[in-house]
Amino acid sequence: MLPVAAGSAPTGYTGAYIHDTATGVLKQNTGAGVAQAHVLPFTPVMTSITNSVNVNRGTVTVASLSFAADGLTDFAYSLSLPAWNGNPSYYYITLNVDGSQVWAGGSDGDDPLFNTYFTSGGLSTTPGAGTHTLAVTASADANGGQIVASSSQPIQLRAAPVSL
């Protein structure tokens, strides 16, 4: 690891990691010059559902996935619900980690829903070391409805480590 100021990496050290002393950013000396290093401690995990999900009275688990954490890395949890079909006057969506709600939202229309929730050590929401379950649930009023999905517009749920 070479501590150098931005843009002054010595030649002949292709592949060496560089600590940019001007910005504190981890970089790498590539054959084409200095570039920001791409370091993720874990592989992002994503699930896609291409079948529509019926949501009537009660709560329905729409999608879930398992991901690993080291207890130090923050994550971005992303959710995409392409469309709502039916006649509910209101629907309610929650994002849960290990059964505990971390985000909730809803709508009174049939618009798509896209959201990304970021964990934070400052808020004590960074997942602890081990394997966790991320799930999205939905509920609707008495009229019910359906989260519409297809191969071209899937329901998606993703857990990704936040990169440096």
Pairing state of beta strands 59-70 and 129-140? antiparallel
What's the structural domain count of the chain?
Answer: 2
* Same-domain check for residues 99 and 148: yes
* Same-domain check for residues 92 and 29: no
* Same-domain check for residues 22 and 54: no
* Same-domain check for residues 12 and 51: no
Per-residue model confidence (pLDDT) at position 65? 98
Cα separation, 36 vs 18, in Å, equals 9
Q: What percent of the chain has pLDDT over 90?
A: 45
Per-residue model confidence (pLDDT) at position 108? 62
* Same-domain check for residues 81 and 143: yes
Per-residue model confidence (pLDDT) at position 38? 66
* Interval 27-53: pLDDT, tens: 887 877 777 776 667 789 999 999 999
Amino acid at 23: T
* Interval 84-130: pLDDT, tens: 887 766 788 999 999 999 999 876 666 678 899 999 988 999 999 99
* Same-domain check for residues 27 and 49: no
* Same-domain check for residues 67 and 99: yes
* Same-domain check for residues 28 and 52: no
* Same-domain check for residues 78 and 28: no
> In this structure, what CATH number is given to the domain that contains residue 63?
2.60.120.40
* Same-domain check for residues 142 and 98: yes
Contact criterion met (CB below 8 Å) for 93 and 142: no
**DSSP three-state, residue 128:** coil
CB under 8 Å to 6, separation ≥6 — which residues?
A: 20, 22, 23, 34
* Same-domain check for residues 54 and 102: yes
Burial class (CB in 10 A: 0-12, 13-18, 19+), 83: middle
Per-residue model confidence (pLDDT) at position 164? 55
* Same-domain check for residues 126 and 71: yes
Mean pLDDT lowest for which of 8-17, 39-48, 71-80, 145-154?
8-17
Cα separation, 1 vs 94, in Å, equals 43
Global pTM value: 0.75
Per-residue model confidence (pLDDT) at position 117? 95
Structural domain range at position 26: 2-36
